[in-house]
Amino acid sequence: MLMRNLWVIIICILIGQPCLLFAQYINSGEPDSAKTVVLIDSLIKVAFNRKNTNLSEALSLLSQSKELSIKVNYHKGLSSAYYTEAGIFQQNGFNKRAHLLYEIALDNSLKYNDSINIPLINIQIAAFYVSEGKIEEAVKLYNQSLDAFIKLNLIKNIANTKNSLGLIEIKKNNFAKAEMLFKEALQLSITLKFVYGQKKAFYNLGLLARAKKDTVTARSYFENSLTLDLLLKDHYGMALNQMQMFQLLLEQRKINDAIVMAKSAYENARIANAYNLMITAITGIKDIYKTSNDLKNTTNWQDSLIVTLKLKVDNEVEYANNFIELVKDKETQKKDAKDAIEKANKRLSDQLYVIIGGTFLLVILAMMVILAFMNYRKQIMLTKKLVKQNAIIEENAASLDNLNKEINTKNLLLEEDNRTKDKLLSIISHDLRNPITNTQTILSLINKGALSQEESKVLLEQLETQYINTTGLLDNLLGWLKSQITGKELEKTDISVYDLMNGMHLEQKIPLMRKRIKFINNTQNDVTIRAEKEMIKIIFRNLITNAIKFTPLDGRIEVSYHDDNQFDYVMIRDSGIGMSEEVLAKVNAQKYFTRTGTLQEKGSGFGLILCRDLLQKQGGNLLIESSKGEGSVFTVQLPKATFN
């Protein structure tokens, strides 16, 4: 029996070895797909980061990425590699080669309907069309990309695309449409705190104002863009803005200021190694000195121009030669690698014939393996059964773990509800009971005639203030309790923002007059939002009361509206004392927190929590922006109405 099993093992080895070699041949060069995808993405990212510091390494990494993408059929990685490689050629002035690579990347992305890469590539191709004067083709691609970015909610890309479309509209002398696109890009960038998009929009608005011969407005926009370039430490952007302002100063005949501005632009261009801008700045300065017959300065700047032109030419020639040599080396390496692969495939093909021949010779011996297979069949079946049972046990353990997590989550919610109920009881027992008790005491003193007329007047004014505060607190409590009632769908209606804000103005007229606060309703008559009527009143009543509370005497409260494709936004901006980062963190954390107003007004700390709760029930949100000493902006965000 022992000898029989030994022979079975030997036969298995003889037959299994060629089969194993055959399997190795079939699967040779096929890496683990999931790990390879991660590796490809990493290689492309590293190549992008190295393109300005080690061009050779960047191109080598992209070459590896393309080869691996083809092996594992990772079409998105292949498109990204071609896209990044095209950017390197474009950056180095090889525009035709870059255009070809972008087209290859686009063709691959279209083949697999890659929704993210397609609009990104189209943006680059559209830029080529603009440089070639194919304006209509460029506009078509820009609009296709814009629609895709809107669907994907890629706000930065939306802003950048609108900036590009606006520049085309300037070329077409369609100034109104250009201004609309630039301002939309600016608003999106401000909302997202996308500083690069903001400074581009300001710069483009400056170009538009120059085209419209509006010198003052153009100067203002360029100064705004320059401020953001200083924040980003973008010396190239600084130089661009300063050269635009240099031209404006020349037009205004402010020669000395123009020279100072051009020298500053030259210095920033020098730091950024922007030779073309350096040459433009030097030429402008030289021409001014030449016009004013300042021979010494004209000669000095003429010499600087000659030196800069030589540096530019030397740098471009050296860089181009290095880049071309690098590309040639890569092409040579690619050809050598291809030849090596062909030789290796030929050797493998020869080995395959040997393996197949040996396999056929051993087919007869393979029949004996069946005996060994029958002996182990029962064991294999038992092993499979055991594996299935273990899998069931693991699945049940995972379900139990998920159940425990759900129980813990519900316990946390119950604890939060208990804390909320405790707070409500505290408010009812203290903030409602105390004013009522105080009211009884004051009225008793007045009725008994124990107070003078002046003392009675003071106490009655305090009683009025106390009444307003208590009524507001009671409204908030009732609103919150109503919001907790489940099982009833909210009845939303279309509400005029203008009428709603006028109503809020009338409600708060007395406290507004007491603090001499100016209430400005900047909304339009035809603007509506969709919400539950009573809930939205409670929300805005709390926000406006809050703004009054923290705005000093002779301040202002301004209400405005804007929207986008998904949401309506109603903003309440005050000129009050604002909030520090610590206070703002407490408010955003939904903690019960209260502060004393500018005239020592008190609150329950419940208003903003109620506002957020009521907005969430309507699918909305409360956005807060505030800085200490600079006022606050409370923005009510509500989803737009949808109709089936």
- The mean pLDDT value for 383-408 works out to 75
Asked if residue 558 lies in contact with residue 522, where contact means CB atoms within 8 angstroms, the answer is: yes
Over range 173-181, report the average pLDDT: 93
Is residue 257 scored above 70 in pLDDT?
Answer: yes
- The residue length of the chain stands at 644
| Average pLDDT for 419-433 | 55
Question: Which pLDDT band, with edges at 50, 70 and 90, does 611 fall under?
Answer: confident
Nearest to 206 by CA among 235, 261, 163, 172: 163
Which of 276, 245, 273, 282 shows the shortest CA–CA distance to 261? 245
- Residue 513 and residue 505: Cα distance in Å, rounded? 11
Q: Provide, for the chain, the percentages of residues in helix, strand and coil under a 3-state DSSP scheme, each rounded to the nearest 5.
A: 75, 5, 20
Average pLDDT over residues 87-96: 73
Q: What is the rounded average pLDDT of the residues 131-141?
A: 88
Over residues 420-430, mean pLDDT: 55
Q: What is the mean pLDDT of the chain?
A: 80
Lowest average pLDDT, out of 93-107, 441-455, 481-495, goes to 481-495
Q: What is the band of 29 on the pLDDT scale with cuts at 50, 70, 90?
A: very low
* Strand duo 567-574 + 621-626: pairing: unpaired
- Give the model's pLDDT for residue 340: 57
Token readout for 441 is 């005491």
Q: Lowest mean pLDDT: which of 37-51, 263-277, 339-353, 487-501?
A: 339-353
Q: Which residues of 579-618 are buried (b: 16+ CB within 10 A; e: fewer)?
A: beeeebeebeeeeeeeeebeeebebbbbbbbbbbbbbeeb
> Which is more confidently placed, 348 or 632?
632
User: What are the residues whose beta carbons fall under 8 Å from the beta carbon of 462, sequence distance 6 or more?
Assistant: 442
359-380 pLDDT, tens digit per residue, is 666 667 666 666 666 667 777 8
More confident residue, 279 or 47: 279
Q: Which of the two residues, 596 and 524, has the higher pLDDT score?
A: 524
- Taking phi over 0 as left and psi of -120 to 50 as alpha, with beta for the rest, 578 belongs to left
Confidence of residue 534 (pLDDT cuts 50, 70, 90): confident
Average confidence (pLDDT) over 110-138:
86
Higher-confidence position of 254 and 390: 254
Q: What percent of the chain has pLDDT over 90?
A: 32
What confidence score (pLDDT) does residue 21 get? 46
Q: pLDDT tier at 62 (50, 70, 90 boundaries)?
A: confident
| pLDDT of 262 above 70 | yes
Share of the chain above pLDDT 70, in %: 73
CB count in 10 Å sphere of residue 518: 12
Q: Place 435 in a pLDDT band, splitting at 50, 70 and 90.
A: low
Task: Give the model's confidence band at 30: pLDDT under 50 very low, under 70 low, under 90 confident, else very high.
Answer: very low
| Statement: residue 184 has pLDDT above 90 | yes
- What pLDDT is recorded for position 395? 75
Instruction: Tell me: pLDDT of 23 over 50.
Output: no
Q: Would the pLDDT of 452 be above 60?
A: yes
- Of the pLDDT bands very low, low, confident and very high (cuts 50, 70, 90), residue 335 is low
pLDDT at 312: 77
Closest CA to 348 of 114, 21, 20: 21
- Helix (H) and strand (E) counts in the chain: 23, 7
**248 vs 354, residue with greater confidence:** 248
Domains recognised in the chain with CATH numbers? 33-253+323-334 (1.25.40.10), 493-639 (3.30.565.10)
Average pLDDT of the segment spanning 147-154: 91
- The pTM of this model reads 0.46
Q: Is the pLDDT score of 642 beyond 80?
A: no
User: What is the model's pLDDT at position 34?
Assistant: 81
